[in-house]
Amino acid sequence: MAFPESAPKYNHYGDVTFIRGGVLDRFSIDLDVSKRLRKGHYWFWVFEPTPHMFEIQCDHCKKRHSPKNIECSATLGLMSSFKNPNVLYSRVEEYDNVSPISLSMVEYDGKINGCVVHLSPDNIYARSNK
Ligand SMILES: [Zn+2]
């Protein structure tokens, strides 16, 4: 498989597609890279929350918690409801929550890493494909 040689620059990290339960990692789908992978496999750039973001249970902000984000559990003073580490919780309208067959992390610079996510054909990954 042809993985990208380097991760995007920190400031060019894409929109958050999913948040992984438990660890609250941010997953941003890269459809161009995904096209180079085997069928059913999708490429994501993954941003790990800072210890502070994790501690306050920030689960809706991109790279830094914003107290103005009223969707975020940290703003509401709640524990995140994204608890299951086997679920990628959708953050965008186009996708449902998914439970991948497997996740394979690919390390880059530690701030942004890659991940190959294998989804079963019946795991509807895009509402637009329904
Ligand atoms: Zn937040």
- The 10s digit of each residue's pLDDT in 32-59 is 999 999 989 999 999 999 999 999 999 9
**Span from the CA of 123 to the centroid of ligand 1 (angstroms):** 28
Spatial distance between the Cα atoms of 120 and 23, rounded to a whole number of angstroms: 23
**Span from the CA of 58 to the centroid of ligand 1 (angstroms):** 4
**Span from the CA of 2 to the centroid of ligand 1 (angstroms):** 34
Task: Output the pLDDT for position 113.
Answer: 93
Which pTM does this prediction carry?
0.89
Burial class of residue 71, CB neighbours in 10 A (0-12, 13-18, 19+): exposed
Q: What is the mean pLDDT of the chain?
A: 88
**Span from the CA of 75 to the centroid of ligand 1 (angstroms):** 6
Confidence tier at 83 by pLDDT (50, 70, 90): very high
Spatial distance between the Cα atoms of 89 and 59, rounded to a whole number of angstroms: 10
**Span from the CA of 11 to the centroid of ligand 1 (angstroms):** 18
Kindly state the tokens that stand for 37: 């992978």
